[in-house]
Structure 1
Amino acid sequence: MEQADIEVIYEAIAKSIDLVGPRQSEHFLARLALLLSHEIDSTKKVLSLVQQASSLQE
């Protein structure tokens, strides 16, 4: 996936978070994560990605 694709996806997620509002944003992100996990179809890979996401440094 190219950087431009990542930016398009980021924008779509950001807009969706704005649409659902602050009270539903965590629910939206959890649902999105589960739907994407289903598409990946590998528990090991999903758990690895969860670890990567939780250790992101700015």
Structure 2
Amino acid sequence: MSIAIPELETVYDALAQAIDAVDPAKRELFLVKLALLAANEIESAATFNTLIAQAQVFED
């Protein structure tokens, strides 16, 4: 199951606003906390590790 594009855009906007609202020195911590909360919701370390690998593709 995936999020529809309009919903994904809403998620992107909410994330961008949340990141902008955090003190720049604490943004990395915020993103780590968010990632750990998402991992907990997913309830699968293997799935979350796959998502990490997918995200790293965009960093290369």
TM-score of the two chains, using structure 2 as the length reference: 0.88
Partner of residue 21, structure 2? 19
Aligned Cα root-mean-square deviation (Å): 1.0
Q: Distance in 1 between matches of 2:40 and 2:6?
A: 24
Structure 2 unaligned regions, length at least 5? none
Extract structure 1 runs of 4+ deviating beyond 6 A: none
Q: How many residues align?
A: 57
Partner of residue 7, structure 1? 9
Structure 1 unaligned regions, length at least 5? none
Displacement of 1:21: 2.5
- Counting only pairs closer than 5 Å after superposition, residues 1-58 of structure 1 correspond to structure 2 as 1-56=3-58
Higher alpha-carbon deviation: 18-27 or 39-48? 18-27
State the percentage of identical aligned residues. 37
Cα distance per residue 1:2-52 (max 9 Å; x no partner): 001111001111001111121111111110000000000001100000000
Q: Distance in 2 between matches of 1:24 and 1:15?
A: 14
